[in-house]
Amino acid sequence: MSIGKQVEVIRHRIAQALERSGRKHVPVTLIGVTKYVGPDEARELYRAGLRDFGENRLQVARPKLDAFARWSFNDVTWHFIGHLQTNKVKDVIRHFSVIHSLDRWNLAEEIQKRAAELGIQVPCCIQVNISGESTKGGFAPPEVHTLLQDLSQLPNIRPIGLMTMAPRVEHAEETRGIFRNLRILRDELQAKGFDKLIELSMGMSQDFEIAIEEGATMIRLGQILYEA
Ligand SMILES: *Cc1c(COP(=O)(O)O)cnc(C)c1O
């Protein structure tokens, strides 16, 4: 199947999951993760209508960032979704509009410093380690409230939501509780006054439908887009 056709299939599955979630009219941003592919496949996604693209490493993103610039694909939002080293922040915030992986305080300080130099504000999702796996990055759920209070001292960071990674499991259904808990955490924080905390960046190829049913506003899909 062509990438274009596959995107159609995925969009249909997204619409059905939205319907099941009872929020048909709430948009879900489909982020096409291009870390596995080159510029040509990324262009197929663009032609299929995608305008949000995700990468987890600057070096891997480069050829696609360069190609999109050459092709004047200027109406694209690039999302940085991977672990971000502090020494890469300066370059990353020049090329990416949203950072999904704010996972530690010293990263926030570095983003603040570099964003202030550029005179920009960087929308960020706070990465939360809901599953508690020691191999996963992110803040523990009880830490997020204090973090948000501290972030209010960093004017060039705009917290827009929460992000999580579900563990690899045999049956996607096992991830439902993780997505639900991220939504509950967001709702609690909103109720405490952080009403700009809107986004739930959760759901990947293996589990995006469950994530949508549980309230995802942004899904990050890689593999499934390129399946023949
Ligand atoms: C690679 C990656 C994805 C996409 O994963 P797939 O299983 O290929 O859909 C999503 N989020 C992050 C953080 C990733 O690194």
Instruction: Encode pLDDT of 50-71 as tens digits.
Output: 999 999 999 999 999 999 999 9
The per-residue pLDDT for 151 is 98
Residue 33 CA, ligand 1 centroid: distance in Å? 7
Residue 193 CA, ligand 1 centroid: distance in Å? 31
Q: What is the model's pTM?
A: 0.96
- 10 Å CB burial of residue 37 (0-12, 13-18, 19+) is buried
Residue 225 CA, ligand 1 centroid: distance in Å? 11
CA of 110: how far to CAs of 48, 80, 114, 157, 159, in Å? Answer: 36, 15, 6, 10, 15
* Residue 129 one-letter amino acid: N
> Across the chain, what does the average pLDDT equal?
96
Of the chain, the percentage scoring pLDDT greater than 90 comes to 89
The per-residue pLDDT for 26 is 78
The per-residue pLDDT for 94 is 97
228 falls in which pLDDT band (50, 70, 90)?
low
121 falls in which pLDDT band (50, 70, 90)?
very high
226 falls in which pLDDT band (50, 70, 90)?
very high
Residue 211 CA, ligand 1 centroid: distance in Å? 14
Upper half-sphere CA count for residue 195 (Cβ side, 13 Å): 2
CA distance 84 to 88: 7
Query: For ligand 1, is residue 225 a contact (CB within 6 Å)?
Result: no
Query: For ligand 1, is residue 203 a contact (CB within 6 Å)?
Result: no
Query: For ligand 1, is residue 222 a contact (CB within 6 Å)?
Result: yes
Residue among 81, 125, 207 to mutate when testing ligand 1 (max atoms within 8 A of CB):
81
